């Protein structure tokens, strides 16, 4: 993509620079030159008086009258430039400037006809030399626009050259020929001078552009730094709340156990601990998701996505029957399935949280666009609504309208921020219609999938079986390879509570050297382990030595690539913090595989 776009961008930038330079050249060419104009006019008056005395008063008066008219025109009626310039207005302004400059110099050049005395060779030579002097003195001040300057030189010298060749003495004819050479030389000089001026203007404009870019970059950096500071300050605030709750509830639980508190009281404390842990886990998962989106860790893989099964699955996960779906059965969109599901899941979660009563509707309808068929997806709720002046803010990080107290039961204000980032990756625009007390409608459009695109079957929804009737077999042997002592102790405590026998090792090398693989039913392998072998390499060795062993990779940063690898190898993938229900399900499957 870069190789094809770069050649297209460079000429556009060069053309823009050229346009700016031409605009600046024209501005310099018409700038006021009052003192110079007055000095030139006084010199012209002196020339007219000299030839009125030596040759003809009437001819001198006619010539000085022409000079007076063009001097008044240039001094009191300057050309007005358009603001701002456009390519067309620039061409028109250049044409007008060239005509005005031509009229100005033609009036001066007519001295070569009106003041030419055929009977006096001395006066002819004097007139020719004076007009050549005018050319040399005014060529570099009349204009900086090359066509206008070259026209001015031509109209200033052409009358005396033609008259001298026609009516002049042999000496005057020689001077006229010299005038032809002077015209050609002046054309070249003004062209070179103007090009040098354009180069200097280009350098100045480039310097100014670089300075503006540097200042804009500095301002953007400062703004980004302020945004990062605000982001981390808000994250620090929201992270500390559940951490503080966990610490306080743990101390309460310790004292309750020491004092022999009743089971209902202890159970209430345990539930409070679980809620704080869930809040902490939810926030860390959202922060991790934002980091992965901004780092573009998971590349987009557009496929045909059947919208009806996806929306029904999301409605079922929302629970309580509050989310209903209205979607045509043939609605198949072209998008990255994982990112689209995350966008919709966050929108549904946001709608449910801010709709205390009433239902949430997931609606899909067909649209026709110039680019082809599309599907309009909307998440409608009858909740609290959002004021017009706050609708842009809700997509910001840690922004929650109507939750200034930062009640963590209503989330952290990151759901719509994740939606904004994912939508930018997918190339969709999420719109919002809302009013206080009248609910909100979040919507976006997706292109329809090509007619011949295969539609993958929807993934079956995972049904946690933790707490199901079938319990784990006492004595089930589980290998635990975890280098974090706190995590390892917690896993051991939970496994022992289930009457499972854990075999704990801190590294892959230690596990391979000491563990009795024949006696194991399952293995939990942390991916990041000390030493030469990580958890994935350990899992591969374990699988080769005992193919029937149930293996689960455990890590806090399990991505799409790790998930695909685990699926291909027949392993499980558990994201830290591991949920007891997920771990229980893995061990149940391992127990079923052993047939015991």
Residue 355 sits in a domain whose CATH number is 3.30.565.10
| Statement to judge: residues 356 and 394 lie in one domain | yes
**Domain-embedded: residue 366:** yes
Parent domain of 355: 302-401+410-447
pLDDT of residue 183: 85
Question: Quick one: which of 236, 415, 277 has its CA closest to 343?
Answer: 415
**CB atoms near residue 491 (< 10 Å):** 22
Please enumerate in sequence order all residues whose Cβ is within 8 A of that of 55, keeping only pairs 6 or more positions apart, or say none. Answer: 115, 117, 120, 123
Q: Are 93 and 82 in contact (CB under 8 A)?
A: yes
Whole-number pLDDT of residue 80: 87
Residue environment code for 343-356, b if the CB has 16+ CB neighbours within 10 A, otherwise e: bbbbbbbbbbbbbe
Quick one: pLDDT at residue 6? 39
- Grouping H, G, I as helix, E, B as strand and the rest as coil, residue 550 is strand
Is residue 44 within 8 A of residue 131, CB to CB? The reply is no
| Pair (287, 309) in one structural domain | no
- For 246, residues 6+ apart whose C-beta sits below 8 A from its C-beta are 273, 276, 277, 280
Residue 553 sits in a domain whose CATH number is 3.40.50.2300
Residues of 126-149 as b/e, b for ≥16 C-beta within 10 angstroms? bbbebbbebbeebbeebbbbbbbb
Which tokens hold the place of 82? 């358009």
331: Cβ contacts below 8 Å, ≥ 6 apart: 306, 307, 308, 364, 366, 375
Is 220 part of a structural domain of the chain? Answer: no
Structure-block tokens of residue 269: 């404390």
Q: Are residues 29 and 98 in the same domain?
A: yes
Residue 551: predicted pLDDT: 92
Q: Same structural domain for residues 207 and 75?
A: yes
CA 316 to CA 295: how far, in whole Å? 31
Q: Are residues 28 and 173 in the same domain?
A: yes
Question: Domain check: are 204 and 250 in the same one?
Answer: no
In a domain, 222, yes or no: no
* 155 and 245 assigned to the same domain: no
Give the three-state DSSP class for 63: helix
β-strand 440-447 against 372-381: which pairing, if any?
antiparallel
How does 171-198 read in b/e, with b if 16+ C-beta sit within 10 Å? Answer: ebbebbeebeebbeebbeebeeebeebb
What does the DSSP assignment read for 365-413? EEEEETTEEEEEEEEEE-SS---GGGTTGGGSTT--TT-TT--GGG--S
Establish if 454 belongs to a structural domain: no
**Could you tell me if residue 468 is inside a domain?**
no
Both 66 and 20 in one domain: the answer is: yes
Look at residue 201 in the predicted model and tell me its pLDDT: 80
DSSP string, 180-215: HHHHHHHHHHHHHHHHHHHHHHHHHHHHHHHHHHHH
Cis link prior to 585 (omega < 30° from 0)?
no
Strands 550-555 and 572-575: parallel
Residue 168 lies in a domain: yes
Residue 28 and residue 134 share a domain? yes
Instruction: Please check whether residue 221 lies inside any domain of the structure.
Output: no
Clarify whether residues 82 and 20 are in a common domain: yes
Question: In the listed set 295, 316, 343, which residue is the last one of a domain according to the structure?
Answer: 295
Here the tokens at position 211 are 């300075």
pTM of the model: 0.52
- Provide φ and ψ at 517, rounded to 5°: -65, -30
Where among 152, 179, 213 does a domain terminate? 213
SS3 361: strand
Is residue 239 included in any domain, yes or no? Answer: yes
Which of 251, 280, 295 represents a domain boundary (last residue)? 295
Same domain, 278 and 317: no
Q: How many domains does the chain have?
A: 4
Per residue of the chain (596 residues), give pLDDT as tens.
Answer: 333 333 433 344 456 678 888 888 888 888 767 787 888 888 888 888 888 888 888 988 998 999 899 888 888 888 888 888 888 888 898 899 889 888 888 888 888 888 888 888 888 888 888 888 877 777 667 788 888 888 888 888 888 889 888 888 888 888 889 888 888 888 888 888 888 887 888 788 788 778 888 888 888 877 767 767 666 665 665 667 677 777 777 888 888 888 888 888 888 888 877 777 777 776 676 666 666 666 666 677 888 889 889 998 888 887 777 888 999 988 898 888 888 888 888 888 888 887 877 788 899 998 887 777 889 999 998 888 888 877 777 777 666 665 544 555 555 667 788 888 888 888 888 888 888 888 888 989 889 888 777 777 655 544 444 444 467 888 888 999 998 888 888 888 888 888 888 999 999 999 888 888 888 889 999 998 898 899 899 999 999 999 889 999 998 877 778 888 888 999 999 888 888 888 898 898 888 877 65
H/E element holding 575? strand 572-575
Q: Is there a single domain that holds both residue 414 and residue 346?
A: yes
């Amino acid at each position: 993509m870069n190789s094809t776009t770069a050649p297209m961008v460079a000429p556009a930038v060069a053309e823009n620079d050229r346009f700016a330079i031409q605009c600046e050249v024209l501005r310099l060419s018409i700038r006021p030159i009052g003192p110079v104009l007055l000095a030139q006019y006084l010199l012209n008056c002196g020339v007219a008086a000299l030839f009125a005395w030596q040759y003809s008063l009437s001819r001198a008066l006619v010539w000085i009258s022409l000079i007076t008219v063009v001097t008044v025109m240039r001094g009191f009626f300057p050309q007005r430039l358009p603001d701002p310039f456009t390519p067309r207005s620039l061409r028109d302004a250049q044409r007008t400037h060239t005509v005005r400059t031509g009229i100005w110099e033609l009036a001066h050049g007519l001295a070569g006809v009106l003041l030419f005395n055929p009977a006096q060779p001395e006066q002819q030579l004097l007139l020719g030399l004076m007009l050549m002097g005018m050319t040399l003195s005014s060529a570099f001040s009349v204009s900086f626009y090359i066509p206008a300057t070259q026209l001015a030189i031509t109209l200033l010298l052409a009358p005396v050259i033609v008259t001298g060749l026609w009516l002049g003495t042999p000496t005057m004819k020689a001077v006229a020929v010299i005038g032809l050479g002077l015209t050609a030389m002046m054309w070249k000089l003004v062209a070179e001078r103007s090009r040098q001026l354009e180069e200097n203007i280009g350098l100045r404009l480039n310097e100014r552009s670089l300075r503006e870019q540097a200042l804009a970059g500095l301002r953007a950096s400062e703004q980004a730094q302020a945004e990062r500071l605000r982001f981390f300050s808000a994250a620090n605030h929201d992270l500390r709340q559940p951490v503080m709750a966990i610490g306080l509830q743990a101390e309460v639980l310790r004292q309750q156990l020491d004092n022999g508190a009743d089971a209902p009281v202890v159970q209430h404390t345990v539930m409070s601990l679980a809620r704080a842990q869930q809040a902490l886990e939810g926030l860390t998962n959202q922060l991790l998701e934002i980091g992965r989106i901004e780092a573009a860790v998971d590349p987009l893989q557009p496929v045909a996505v059947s919208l009806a099964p996806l929306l029904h699955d999301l409605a079922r996960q929302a629970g309580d029957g509050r989310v209903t779906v209205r979607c045509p059965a043939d609605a198949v969109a072209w998008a990255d399935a994982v990112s689209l599901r995350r966008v919709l899941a966050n929108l549904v979660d946001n709608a449910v949280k801010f709709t205390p009563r009433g239902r949430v509707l997931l609606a899909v309808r067909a649209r026709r666009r110039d680019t082809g068929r599309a599907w309009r997806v909307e998440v409608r709720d009858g909740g609290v609504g959002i004021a017009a002046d706050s609708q842009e803010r809700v997509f910001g990080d840690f922004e929650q309208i109507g939750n200034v107290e930062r009640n963590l039961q209503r989330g952290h204000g990151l759901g719509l921020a994740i939606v904004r980032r994912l939508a930018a990756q997918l190339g969709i625009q999420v719109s919002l219609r809302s009013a206080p007390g009248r609910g909100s409608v979040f919507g976006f459009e997706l292109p329809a999938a090509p007619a011949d695109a295969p539609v993958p079957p929807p993934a079956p929804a995972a049904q946690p079986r933790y707490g199901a009737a079938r319990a784990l077999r006492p004595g089930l042997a589980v290998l635990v390879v975890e280098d974090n002592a706190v995590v390892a102790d917690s896993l051991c405590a939970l496994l022992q509570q289930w009457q499972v026998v854990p075999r704990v090792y801190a590294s892959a090398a230690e596990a391979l050297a000491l563990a009795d693989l024949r006696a194991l039913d399952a293995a939990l392998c942390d991916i990041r382990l000390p030493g030469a072998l990580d958890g994935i390499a350990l899992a591969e060795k374990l699988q080769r030595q005992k193919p029937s062993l149930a293996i689960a990779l455990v890590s806090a940063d399990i991505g799409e690539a790790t998930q695909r690898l685990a699926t291909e190898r027949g392993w499980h993938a558990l994201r830290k913090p591991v949920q007891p229900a997920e771990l229980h399900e893995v061990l149940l499957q391992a127990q079923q595989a052993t047939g015991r």
